Amino acid sequence: MNFEFRLRSFCKNFENYQYKVNVFKMPVAVRLVEALALVTLMALITCVSLGVVIAQRTLSLTITFIEPAANILDVVLIMIEKMLVGALVCTVTLINTVSSALHMIGIA
């Protein structure tokens, strides 16, 4: 009889405990959802930050590799410019010489 009383008492306590657990499940679930939302938000911010850092490093690396090529292209363009200016000076000198010669002969 003592055992039966203990068992019934245990069952009543268990039912009472089960009721309390069901009542308090909602706030715990809400807190869990809030925590998961915060963790998700932090993960999104971290991913965006990583994307920005990777883009910055990529751009920096690209500029580092493009700068020597730009310097070489600048030198090539300066050389082409000097050649074209030299050709123009030669053409003007040739025209001036021919014009002077024609003027001395009396044709021009």
Q: What is the pLDDT of residues 55-94, one digit of tens each?
A: 999 999 998 989 888 899 999 999 999 999 999 999 999 9
Side-chain half-sphere exposure of 50, counting CA atoms within 13 A: 6
Asked if residue 2 has pLDDT above 80, the reply is no
Contact 108, 99 (CB under 8 A): yes
pLDDT at 65: 87
Least confidently predicted of 13-22, 38-47, 62-71, 81-90 = 13-22
pLDDT at 5: 58
